[in-house]
Structure 1
Amino acid sequence: MPRDISELVDRLAREAEAACRHYLPNGRRQGGYWVVGDVRNTPGRSMFVRLKDSQKGSAGKWTDAATGEHGDLLDIIRESRGLVDFQDVAEEARRFLKLPRSELGPLPRAARRRSQGGSQDAAARLYSMSRPIAGTLAETYLRSRGIMSLQHDGALRFHPRCRYRFDECAPVETWPALIARVSDLNDRMTGVHRTWLDPDGFNSATLGKAPVDTPRRAMGNLLGNAVRFGVADDVLAAGEGIETMASLRCALPNLPTAAALSANHLAALLLPVTLRRLYIARDADAAGELAVAVLTERAIAAGVEAIAVSPRLGDFNEDLRAFGLDQLRELLRGQLGSRDAARFMP
């Protein structure tokens, strides 16, 4: 019987494919990986679970290319089963492995912190070590995306040498990064999102992001939470990407907005109890359409009016860069309710 967490992880890794088939049945095997939408078993192709040990990494390790989240099979068990206490996660793993019920006492605090989807303490430290974006490469990056004047209320910061590693076996690099604060409905910080930046500036191939495999990653507790620009009361606009919602915030500087960081997280976004109307920024792809449908259904069930707003191109940042701020405002004016247009338009 395993006597510590590392041994339990090792035992699961030996059964990586069986574990994926059991806990992520909406995915499928593709070469040496199990491919699925996310760690919560959503259909899709953005998350990859390594099924065998290789030079690239250990079996059971996974990465979500859409959000940058990563972890092991214990995290998959936690999220797919909706478990909170890590003791319950460990017992579920032992049940799957057909091991005797643990006779160990409560797990140490360091192990229980795994249930938070990444260390919130590490996220808070990274945010505290970063600095305001004014005059930094982060501001240059946003301006290259057409985001010239943004009221972000301290949600965005800059770190000049943010650590990056593709996986646990790769060497550590450092790149400048845009740091975004993820928070809950009570404005408690729950994580951060990192966009690693190219120190040489903007180019058409990377749009200013660092030339690494996954230039965007998040850490901490993301589910239900968001990068928030402004404090929502009765009206809120929510969407996927930081640049998308920052673009809306530029066009409507008085409208509170929230970036959930991915389509899956947008669908699961928690709504303020005071909310009466929700504008959902649609991304023009299949995942974006599904997120709008799921969040609309949840909003209506909560007594909130839900209105989808659509870009002319792929997302509202593409619209901002292609057509400019004035045309973006006119596009939004026609999709907002008349009272909200009068209230939030500059």
Structure 2
Amino acid sequence: MLTALKPTKETIDLVAGLKGRWHGSYAMCRCPAHADEKASLSIRQGNRGLLVHCFAGCRSEDVLRELSRTRPVFNSPTPEYRTGASTQNARRIWDQATEIKGTLAEAYLRSRNLPQSLRDLRYHARCPFGRKPNAVFRPALLVAAREGVKIKAIQRIALGPGGLSHKGKYMLGRPGMAAWSPIMKGTTLALAESMEDAAAYTKLKGTPCWSTLGAERLPLVRIPDGVATLVIAEDNNRAGRLAALAAVAAHETPERRVLRDPPPRAAADWAEVNENTGA
């Protein structure tokens, strides 16, 4: 099972040399093994060194070779791994929010052909986006990312006019190994990238499905010990397939099998499959 380890000083300095950004126990950086235009390389601390995964498909040995040539930024500040200001802000905004019934958030779920009684979703009529003094305030659907019972972060889905679309998804807090995690029973669990995909998968398949709130986080979330079968409800694109492969490697154990379940080829993801059913 994947365990979050505190990064060493050498790892922190290396990530700084790559101008990477920490997200709890892992960092996302531009991959030095290819012409990376966005942060597609995940770096975590392992027991015997670095654990790396490039979501663009670079081989780990190629990435590690290039990392050995990367100049670190010595004495870089240690990132905060536990509850910090961003997590406190996430919890404060969550506490300010209301149930979604009768709001734009309910309209959004209805427009996506999803149940309106989903757990751990709230509505904020004036959710802040950005930092003071340049923050803007928009209506948002909030998605809680929990590890156990504790909220580690929230995803803010900025809602469009009438709640019929969204204008972007923004994480606040330090999600670490947390996920949007509806109540599950039994020994089978599915994982999907977005909340919409997870809710759609459960509706279509009857299997409890959690959302990692991002493709790069599929291999990073904590899976309950009692899960004997884990299904990766992946997206139908290159990033989704690579993330699914990383999730299989991260979560498969002698006590747990991990299966992959992509949507039909005509659909981009399980949310689209659900929208097209009309039921």
Q: The TM-score by the shorter chain falls in which range?
A: 0.7 to 0.9
2:100 corresponds to 1:133: yes
Q: Give the 3 Å change call, closer, same or farther, for CA 35–251 of structure 1 in structure 2.
A: closer
- 1:187 is aligned to 149
Partners of 2:42 and 2:248 in 1: CA distance: 22
Partners of 1:181 and 1:290 in 2: CA distance: 25
Preserved contact between residue 191 and residue 218 of structure 1 (Cα < 8 Å): yes
- Tell me the CA shift for residue 315 of structure 1: 0.5
Identity, % of aligned positions: 23
- 1:26 is aligned to 31
1:320 maps to amino acid? N
2:153 corresponds to 1:177: no
Partners of 2:73 and 2:257 in 1: CA distance: 46
Q: Give the 3 Å change call, closer, same or farther, for CA 96–20 of structure 1 in structure 2.
A: closer
Residue 276 of structure 2, aligned match among 322, 330, 340: 322
- Tell me the CA shift for residue 219 of structure 1: 1.7
2:256 corresponds to 1:299: no
Residue 81 of structure 2, aligned match among 94, 115, 122: 115
- 1:9 is aligned to none
Residue 38 of structure 2, aligned match among 32, 35, 40: 35
Preserved contact between residue 191 and residue 233 of structure 2 (Cα < 8 Å): yes
Using the size of structure 2 for normalisation, the TM-score is 0.72
1:158 maps to amino acid? Y
Which has the larger helix fraction?
1
Residue-by-residue CA offset, 1:308-346 (whole Å, 9 max, x unaligned): 222121111111112334xxxxxxxxxxxxxxxxxxxxx
Displacement over 6 Å in runs of 4+: 15-18
Q: Give the 3 Å change call, closer, same or farther, for CA 164–38 of structure 1 in structure 2.
A: farther
2:233 corresponds to 1:281: yes
Preserved contact between residue 113 and residue 119 of structure 1 (Cα < 8 Å): no
Preserved contact between residue 278 and residue 306 of structure 1 (Cα < 8 Å): yes
Structure 1 residues 104-253: aligned runs within 5 Å: 114-116=80-82, 119-147=86-114, 149-153=115-119, 155-165=120-130, 171-184=134-147, 186-202=148-164, 208-210=165-167, 215-252=168-205
| Residue segments in structure 2 that go unaligned for 5+ positions in a row | 1-12, 21-26, 44-51, 57-66
Partners of 2:181 and 2:194 in 1: CA distance: 11
2:181 maps to amino acid? R
Which has the larger strand fraction?
2
Partners of 1:144 and 1:131 in 2: CA distance: 20
When Rg is computed on C-alpha atoms for both structures, the one with the higher figure is: 1
Give the count of matched residue pairs: 236
